[in-house]
Chain A
């Protein structure tokens, strides 16, 4: 019954999305009326029904209902509870249901909470959200029904891909999806504003907190995904420029640019067309990313469920939504006046530079991701990897970091560089000092060297806006910016340090052997079999010691899962404040020795601490904006109350 109930709720939600679209469009054409009042409640109901449907699927997975095809294909009765739960979204159908749930849930939230936008733009926005939602409902219901039953219940399930049986990854997709699909609001707001022509500071102020919310989840999702790839794949790397990774990075870059350009629009009524364009691009990148990793036209180390039939369905959706929005943009761009002018040396100027660089980064990531497709069209198979992305990305990223350090110190509209001369010189000197120090200390590659120098300069410069201000009275939004920029500096420091200071050792060790890697000595004590709930493994017992410090035991494993049969290597990590020791157990060699792969990675954890700080900065800014909005609302209420009282007194 639960499966039928979930399916019915989903169909009903899809029908409501259709109703929301029709009512919204008709209210837009015929002016206000009873239909206009009903759009918001319908959007809320639609959101509630998708949540009900999603909850039904979760219940089926928790009970391991073996009469449901999706449960049989992706779960197993012997699986730990937490992975039964995660199995709900660890597959194509379930994750598409999560997609429409987030999409409809976000629409319901703006319908409930957003009151600042002109009502007509709000109607257009909700109609757009429903229109985009409808396509994904159709995809889910017509070609990927998660509630399909088997003619006969199965004996047992086939299990979940063992690489996904990891606590980090269990909650990675929901986080990522909140960000990924949350950006649909940016798209709907942008299309709504284009339809009614009301692109101005209010539009930017309304859109900003919603984009910020999605961006926070996206940031956390990317950081968590990177850490998962780092410890679970056992290759010691934290970013592989894999299509799946690029698919989440591209919307992040677009959303980051969007947040900055929305600030300009909100504060100075400039960059109207550009902000709208970025709103469209951000969610388009989410959809393009989804298409690329699910259609099977690109191969990925992350081995996603792929299917060309489904690929063509998503491609049709892309063509309708993105193509439609771009046509609308081209038709309306001239009617959105560009707004205020500003000089190059100003806060706006710095933000425009940041926008151009972020867009360029987005462009090169997209180009690198699609390049194998271009060459394959001409019959040549190539793979594009770090040799392209790292240097080409750095060309755009490094100048952006310089401007990032200066920008927040500049005033709006017009400023002179002389006013910020002393902090600039200080940061410049620091940069030179760091570079010289590093050059003398030991030879590096140019890019990691620049990265190390710039990251330290950026961390220092990001604190400068706090200088000479009363910290307790500083708006939360400024704190948010400071924390996020500091986080970028910290993450960059981790990346540069990891790529220049890492020491690797590949050893074939017998029990009792001692291997040295960087400041560590590692002794192989034993290799023994161990067993888990649904796997068996060989486990190495290693005694690791940092210089003369205490001896710590770590236990990397080579795991074999039974359902489905697959081997994974569980790396062992030893974290110190200044880096991580990373150990992987390999195969047994013919003469009875064990392959051990050891890395000493100085400051590598700063990458993820930095990522979390960036997300925290976003959260602070969001809280600041929400608090301001609540204060404004209560002020408006008080004024209305006062007016009422006065009217009453006069009437009496």
Chain B
């Protein structure tokens, strides 16, 4: 390895590596978390009501021609409490929100909604996380935009912060007409 072009070879290879990964890193498409479920219909399920005075949730309820948000949450989840005001804001703007409560007890659900407000029109109880798994969600909270045919259009992982509200409205409009 006495001089010559060969000593620059490792550097050239390394620069190739940096170029390649930089390309991947800065491509806008690579930034969105893509669920395998986007563009697919919501899987078949029927959940019992999580609350005494509100209906449960089944796949058929999602294919009535109206786009809506499907929110996966739980009363024991701290970020779910943090996103409650944003869900309330979305409801006030006329968004239909249905909920899936993960591994929860009716009295805890009632207490949670009593404290943070109830933005839902339906809440199903997913006691074994089966629906959560089937829909491609790995944690709480998560929110899906479902169009009028019951097809998943968008997946939002984590809590909804105030800056996400306009974006979700936009996604609902795209899924709407």
Chain A residues proximal to chain B, CB less than 8 Å: 72, 154-158, 273-274, 277, 281, 284, 288, 291-292, 295-297, 308, 311-312, 315, 318-319, 322-323, 326-327, 329-330, 333-334, 338, 370, 373-374, 376-377, 560, 562-567
> Looking at the complex, which one of A157, A284, A297 makes contact with B30 (CB distance below 8 Å)?
A297
The verdict on A326 contacting B14 (CB below 8 Å), with A297-B21, A311-B25 known, is yes
Q: A72-B78, A315-B22 are in contact. List 13 more A-B contacts (CB 8 A).
A: A297-B21, A297-B25, A297-B30, A315-B25, A323-B11, A323-B15, A333-B1, A334-B3, A338-B1, A373-B21, A560-B128, A562-B76, A567-B129
Among A296, A333, A370, A567: residue with most chain B CB under 10 A: A333
> Looking at the complex, which one of A158, A315, A334, A564 makes contact with B7 (CB distance below 8 Å)?
A334
Give 14 CB contacts A-B under 8 Å: A155-B81, A158-B78, A273-B1, A284-B14, A308-B30, A311-B25, A312-B25, A312-B26, A333-B7, A334-B7, A338-B2, A377-B23, A565-B103, A567-B129
In the complex, B165 has a CB within 8 A of chain A: no
A159 and B140 alpha carbons, distance in the complex (Å): 12
Contact with A along B1-14 (1 / 0, CB 8 A): 11100011011001
Nearest to B13 among chain A residues (CB) is: A326
**Cβ of B92: which chain A residues have Cβ within 8 Å of it?**
none
| Cβ–Cβ contact B20 & A377, under 8 A | yes
**Cβ of B102: which chain A residues have Cβ within 8 Å of it?**
565
Q: How far is the CB of B104 from chain A (nearest CB, A)?
A: 10
**Cβ of B81: which chain A residues have Cβ within 8 Å of it?**
155
Q: How far is the CB of A202 from chain B (nearest CB, A)?
A: 21
Nearest to B22 among chain A residues (CB) is: A315
A494 and B81 alpha carbons, distance in the complex (Å): 51
**Cβ of A567: which chain B residues have Cβ within 8 Å of it?**
129, 133
| Cβ–Cβ contact A329 & B78, under 8 A | no
Nearest to A312 among chain B residues (CB) is: B25
A564 and B141 alpha carbons, distance in the complex (Å): 10
Q: How far is the CB of A75 from chain B (nearest CB, A)?
A: 12
Among B11, B81, B102: residue with most chain A CB under 10 A: B11
Residues from 112 to 151 in B contacting A, C-beta threshold 8 Å = 128-129, 132-133, 138-140
A600 and B26 alpha carbons, distance in the complex (Å): 47
**Cβ of A566: which chain B residues have Cβ within 8 Å of it?**
138-139
> Looking at the complex, which one of A318, A323, A563 makes contact with B76 (CB distance below 8 Å)?
A563
> Looking at the complex, which one of A156, A277, A295, A322 makes contact with B78 (CB distance below 8 Å)?
A156
**Cβ of A296: which chain B residues have Cβ within 8 Å of it?**
30
List the 6 closest A-B pairs by CB distance, nearest first: A326-B11, A334-B3, A333-B7, A330-B7, A273-B1, A297-B24
| Cβ–Cβ contact B24 & A319, under 8 A | no
Q: How far is the CB of B109 from chain A (nearest CB, A)?
A: 15
**Cβ of B41: which chain A residues have Cβ within 8 Å of it?**
none
Residues from 22 to 38 in B contacting A, C-beta threshold 8 Å = 22-26, 30-31
A550 and B8 alpha carbons, distance in the complex (Å): 65
| Cβ–Cβ contact B11 & A158, under 8 A | no
The verdict on A329 contacting B10 (CB below 8 Å), with A562-B103, A565-B103 known, is yes
A295 and B103 alpha carbons, distance in the complex (Å): 32
| Cβ–Cβ contact A565 & B24, under 8 A | no
Residues from 55 to 72 in B contacting A, C-beta threshold 8 Å = none
Nearest to B78 among chain A residues (CB) is: A154
By the criterion of a CB under 8 Å from any partner CB, how many residues of chain B are at the interface? Answer: 35
In the complex, B89 has a CB within 8 A of chain A: no
| Cβ–Cβ contact B7 & A329, under 8 A | yes
**Cβ of B111: which chain A residues have Cβ within 8 Å of it?**
none
Q: How far is the CB of B5 from chain A (nearest CB, A)?
A: 9
Chain B residues proximal to chain A, CB less than 8 Å: 1-3, 7-8, 10-11, 14-15, 17-18, 20-26, 30-31, 74, 76-79, 81, 102-103, 128-129, 132-133, 138-140
Q: How far is the CB of A40 from chain B (nearest CB, A)?
A: 32
| Cβ–Cβ contact B129 & A565, under 8 A | yes
| Cβ–Cβ contact A315 & B18, under 8 A | yes
**Cβ of A291: which chain B residues have Cβ within 8 Å of it?**
21
Q: How far is the CB of A381 from chain B (nearest CB, A)?
A: 11
| Cβ–Cβ contact B21 & A295, under 8 A | yes
- A interface SS class: helix
> Looking at the complex, which one of B2, B15, B22, B140 makes contact with A565 (CB distance below 8 Å)?
B140
Q: How far is the CB of B58 from chain A (nearest CB, A)?
A: 19
The verdict on A370 contacting B17 (CB below 8 Å), with A562-B76, A566-B138 known, is yes
> Looking at the complex, which one of A295, A312, A327 makes contact with B11 (CB distance below 8 Å)?
A327
| Cβ–Cβ contact A326 & B128, under 8 A | no
| Cβ–Cβ contact B20 & A370, under 8 A | yes
| Cβ–Cβ contact A376 & B24, under 8 A | yes
| Cβ–Cβ contact A322 & B20, under 8 A | no
Among A315, A330, A565: residue with most chain B CB under 10 A: A565
A567 and B31 alpha carbons, distance in the complex (Å): 27
**Cβ of A315: which chain B residues have Cβ within 8 Å of it?**
18, 21-22, 25
A288 and B13 alpha carbons, distance in the complex (Å): 13
A284 and B17 alpha carbons, distance in the complex (Å): 12
The verdict on A322 contacting B24 (CB below 8 Å), with A297-B30, A338-B2, A565-B140 known, is no
**Cβ of B25: which chain A residues have Cβ within 8 Å of it?**
295, 297, 308, 311-312, 315
> Looking at the complex, which one of B1, B8, B20, B133 makes contact with A374 (CB distance below 8 Å)?
B20
A512 and B138 alpha carbons, distance in the complex (Å): 35
Q: How far is the CB of A541 from chain B (nearest CB, A)?
A: 21
> Looking at the complex, which one of B20, B76, B128, B132 makes contact with A373 (CB distance below 8 Å)?
B20
**Cβ of A318: which chain B residues have Cβ within 8 Å of it?**
18
**Cβ of A323: which chain B residues have Cβ within 8 Å of it?**
11, 14-15, 18
Among A284, A296, A327, A330: residue with most chain B CB under 10 A: A330
**Cβ of B17: which chain A residues have Cβ within 8 Å of it?**
288, 370
Q: How far is the CB of B4 from chain A (nearest CB, A)?
A: 8
**Cβ of B78: which chain A residues have Cβ within 8 Å of it?**
72, 154-158
A296 and B133 alpha carbons, distance in the complex (Å): 22
A566 and B162 alpha carbons, distance in the complex (Å): 28
Nearest to A323 among chain B residues (CB) is: B14
Nearest to B1 among chain A residues (CB) is: A273
Q: How far is the CB of B139 from chain A (nearest CB, A)?
A: 5
| Cβ–Cβ contact A308 & B31, under 8 A | yes
Nearest to A155 among chain B residues (CB) is: B78
| Cβ–Cβ contact B18 & A564, under 8 A | no
**Cβ of B140: which chain A residues have Cβ within 8 Å of it?**
564-565
A374 and B26 alpha carbons, distance in the complex (Å): 15
Q: How far is the CB of B34 from chain A (nearest CB, A)?
A: 10
A181 and B128 alpha carbons, distance in the complex (Å): 41
A334 and B2 alpha carbons, distance in the complex (Å): 5
Nearest to B11 among chain A residues (CB) is: A326
Q: How far is the CB of A563 from chain B (nearest CB, A)?
A: 7
Nearest to B72 among chain A residues (CB) is: A565
Q: How far is the CB of B17 from chain A (nearest CB, A)?
A: 7
A566 and B81 alpha carbons, distance in the complex (Å): 20
| Cβ–Cβ contact A326 & B10, under 8 A | yes
| Cβ–Cβ contact A277 & B21, under 8 A | no
| Cβ–Cβ contact A333 & B31, under 8 A | no
Nearest to A272 among chain B residues (CB) is: B1
A341 and B15 alpha carbons, distance in the complex (Å): 33
Q: How far is the CB of A632 from chain B (nearest CB, A)?
A: 32
